[in-house]
Structure 1
């Protein structure tokens, strides 16, 4: 098909040239001047993205980019391994095993010996990463790693042994996927706030997965552009499914469908050449962001290009809940310390008359009485009260028994919420404030402007490894956990990524 298309294009060019020659016979000077003076067509935004994805090389990866992206890879793997113990992951895996014939190619997180076709492995592993809302977060708000890494690992698995990508190839493709997400979101002011209409990873994550896979597959610039355009038709998920078992599917689908887009583009499938351009009267990527104002990407490092991850670090979560919860938890934990000091080491709901939370206005994370773990992970009230009682929030805070505690229910019934004008729904500018009025009338307050783990106050390498060991250790033996840490930290030195892939089997 591609040959016949090329022949057809060539014939069209020959026809145009014959007409052009007859015209120049009649008006030689005018036509020749018109041809010489016609300005070269300006590169479209979509074409610049394709050229950018195809043209990035290892020389663009600075030590800062390498170090930060390896931290992201390690955290995402740990979160995904822990996520393989959840009910939603089990449901997704059973579905794929029963409805589709397995190809036994790509590994599944936390299931030694279990393999699926590459696209299905990307799907279930993406689901695992977000199944507990424990994955990394960026600004503008999205979960960047979960949509990209599972797809890249699945593509690496499907490559023959003599063509496995190097560790540096994998890191480059990973950073391409992260970069495309960040660039697209920074073309919209609205994207900078906590989302209301759709879940960002289901949109930009799909684009990031497509870009990352296109880079790893060494697609040419035109194919990379088509991969993004195809991915746009596969993107999107409404916020109504937040705080349900379906929310993790957003990440799984972003990983899978972005990979599918790149594979389809590699076969020659085409899509709109203007999908990322702001074209009047034609809805492309601007269907997602009404104030979308794109700019071309430039590969020339001398003109100031650097990876966004070099400029802004990533937020890593210390407990599995929506990022907004981390502000109120740190604020409430500081009040817990005051309560423990006053009441000799014990905290009881009977001591508390009222709890006031000052948080941003965001409907889907304002849940006064959550009934299940997924709602609890998206509830200011639940997380603040859990931290008041226990001094912290952990994985165990979201078990059914913890959610149903009478003491917790009593505290929840005493919560009042305010939304100060100076507290926007923006992860770069918001704060969390907890004010507790005791039964005797005393008032205790705690406030958090930047929690530990935020990009302004990042986790140390020691803290990040501790989180990884806890998460991965839930499903892997200790030696394998340590081998994974070693493989990720040495990823840029690996001649091929097989040692990493073997640790996930």
Structure 2
């Protein structure tokens, strides 16, 4: 029954894609602009977003946008493949296989021959992406790719073979999903800081996933607006579940629920036409942000729409932990070098008398003695001490054996934390400082203002590909890994995205 329903949806989706393209692109250029891009009088913010989602065209994507979004896709695929080896991913996959009738439609990262229904595939693949907190981060703080790409791949799997999206279709939809998340977060000054109440990807993520899928399905502007409004009713997760196995569910749900919202809108389900507007007495998206001040979103009439990703790059992580950890790790690694010199080696706890961290005030990443890998990924103290001991933090730093090392425990007991007034909990303004007093009295200091991988100091293509090859190579054979690198690099020239889908298994 489930398969027949999805096949029916697939047929209707394919029909919509055909009708939308032939209907819109058959108009004269002036009529297309009037129907899609020119703002209507007194248009609501919500309606303007719907028109943007529906109206984006290939001409709006600049070379910079294409290059940066391909990098995001490659990194997200790599961390998702590596994440498919984790316990939390296996739990989520087993749950979906045992609780729901199997539907052989959409692929699962790193599992050749394993397929689920499209929404469940979007869910488990989203969980994989965030299972190690290794996915990309933006400012204001959110994890943008994991909420969008798994949903788009699942929808692509769902479509009939003769209507598979092209690589450029996929890139267009992906950038829609990224842009919507960024615009929504920039409507609030409070969103710029490290969150305290809710995990941002669980709020803006479903909105981005819904927007991306709505575009890929060629929904009309009204349906796109309804998709956003439906997604808003499926959004939100409290910060209390950070540093637990449930945090990866936030990304999985963002991907799944965003896709669900778009599919429901395609069937005709309606929701508030003012969900993104700030209207007295109407609690829409402003329920999440107290200082929410939205603006309409319009496409440029011709080429070169001003995308947020063009103005600000993405942060790519070099090791699997909360982004805030990357500042203290680089600072502590510099102190490690001062202690051991040019020779590689491990610092002994007996050499150290005191460790002082100067970091932003953020309760959920201030964890003096983490007891599991998820807590360790969210601990200033753990990551600073790991880097001080070993000179770096890697995937292996969060294994059970590494977390329970006596030398690490000894260093953790020496840590003090200060929160300077000039060090805000803001990924664009913060710094990390590590001061180590040695047993002989010498005081060594390390400071990081911008780590390698931050949007101000982005990873080179070589570094990004090295990370991808290491992550994907833990699951896939070398030829598939290299094939994915080549496929993503030439994605905008791919007439059919099927080769990308096949290489992920």
- After TM superposition, the score normalised by the length of structure 2 is 0.91
Q: How far, CA to CA, are the matches of 2:335 and 2:63 in structure 1? A: 40
> 2:189: which partner in 1?
189
Whether contact under 8 Å (2:181, 2:207) holds in the other structure is: yes
Superposed displacement of residue 300, structure 1:
2.2
> 2:150: which partner in 1?
150
Alignment of 1:312-323 (within 5 A): 312-323=312-323
Superposed displacement of residue 344, structure 1:
8.8
Whether contact under 8 Å (2:366, 2:379) holds in the other structure is: yes
Whether contact under 8 Å (2:60, 2:304) holds in the other structure is: no
Deviations 1:107-163 (A, max 9, x none): 000111100000000000000000000000000000000000000000000000100
Superposed displacement of residue 341, structure 1:
2.1
TM-aligned CA distance change 1:380 to 1:101, over 3 Å: same
Superposed displacement of residue 343, structure 1:
9.5
Superposed displacement of residue 281, structure 1:
1.2
SS in 1 for 2:341: helix
Q: Do structure 1's residue 483 and structure 2's residue 483 form an aligned pair?
A: yes
Q: How far, CA to CA, are the matches of 1:113 and 1:469 in structure 2? A: 22
Superposed displacement of residue 102, structure 1:
1.4
Q: Give the structure with higher Rg (CA).
A: 1
> 1:385: which partner in 2?
385
> 1:282: which partner in 2?
282
Deviations 1:34-84 (A, max 9, x none): xxxxxx851000000000100011110100000000000000000000000
Superposed displacement of residue 496, structure 1:
1.0
Whether contact under 8 Å (2:171, 2:492) holds in the other structure is: yes
Superposed displacement of residue 347, structure 1:
1.2
Q: Do structure 1's residue 202 and structure 2's residue 202 form an aligned pair?
A: yes
> 2:127: which partner in 1?
127
Whether contact under 8 Å (2:210, 2:259) holds in the other structure is: yes
Moved over 6 A (4+): none
TM-aligned CA distance change 1:301 to 1:313, over 3 Å: farther
> 2:16: which partner in 1?
none
- After TM superposition, the score normalised by the length of structure 1 is 0.91
Whether contact under 8 Å (2:345, 2:390) holds in the other structure is: no
> 2:471: which partner in 1?
471
Q: How far, CA to CA, are the matches of 1:346 and 1:259 in structure 2? A: 48
Q: How far, CA to CA, are the matches of 2:450 and 2:210 in structure 1? A: 33
> 1:452: which partner in 2?
452
Alignment of 1:370-381 (within 5 A): 370-381=370-381
In structure 1, stretches of 5+ residues that fail to align are 1-39
Q: Over aligned residues, Cα RMSD in angstroms?
A: 1.2
Q: How far, CA to CA, are the matches of 1:341 and 1:43 in structure 2? A: 64
Q: Do structure 1's residue 245 and structure 2's residue 238 form an aligned pair?
A: no
> 1:222: which partner in 2?
222
> 1:28: which partner in 2?
none
Q: State the number of aligned residues.
A: 466
Q: Do structure 1's residue 395 and structure 2's residue 402 form an aligned pair?
A: no
> 1:58: which partner in 2?
58
In structure 2, stretches of 5+ residues that fail to align are 1-39
Q: Do structure 1's residue 405 and structure 2's residue 405 form an aligned pair?
A: yes
TM-aligned CA distance change 1:445 to 1:161, over 3 Å: same
Alignment of 1:335-374 (within 5 A): 335-341=335-341, 345-374=345-374
